Amino acid sequence: MEFRCAVCKEPKDVRTLRNSVCPSCLAEQERAAEAASDHAAGLRYAYEQALKKGPHYAGEPEAWTPRDPVLLSDGEHFVCPGCKRRAHLVHDLSIRWNKKPYPIPNKYSLCDACHRRDVEDGGTPVYTNRFNRER
């Protein structure tokens, strides 16, 4: 027997509904309530909502062009514009995580391997967040 969830309006199995709300919507409401009370959880929640909102790229990474969105629909990967491969938001974007918490990649965001290759080829100093007396 199926009923519609009061929040997402999708048909759900009646055995999973609690107060006419499905478990995924209940979990989302709990996370939103936690984000309202905790600043770090609020930043993480806003970041995940921005990633979920998109726009997302649905094609093959090799066919990606700069006019296409960078984020992939799984919410954990993006297309690196340098090598045109799938890259993970956390593991392959650590250079941006060191500069800014919760970075959202854009068409100029290279994965760590491409960034390292550009730095080695160009000979420019690697960005650090430390004070330099030579400036």
Asked whether residue 40 is domain-assigned, the answer is no
Q: Is residue 25 part of a domain?
A: no
Beta bridge partner(s), residue 72: 57
- Please report whether residue 12 resides in a domain: no
- Domain contains 76: yes
Q: Tally the domains of the chain.
A: 1
78 lies in a domain?
Answer: yes
Write the pLDDT tens digit of every residue in 59-76.
Answer: 898 999 989 999 998 888
What is the Cα–Cα distance from 20 to 15, expressed in whole angstroms? 10
Whether 108 is in a domain gets the answer: yes
pLDDT at 86: 92
Domain of 133 in residue numbering reads as: 55-135
Answer yes or no: is pLDDT of 124 > 70: no
> Using alpha carbons only, what angle is made at residue 70 by residues 86 and 72, rounded to the nearest 5 degrees?
60
Q: What per-residue confidence (pLDDT) applies to 2? A: 76
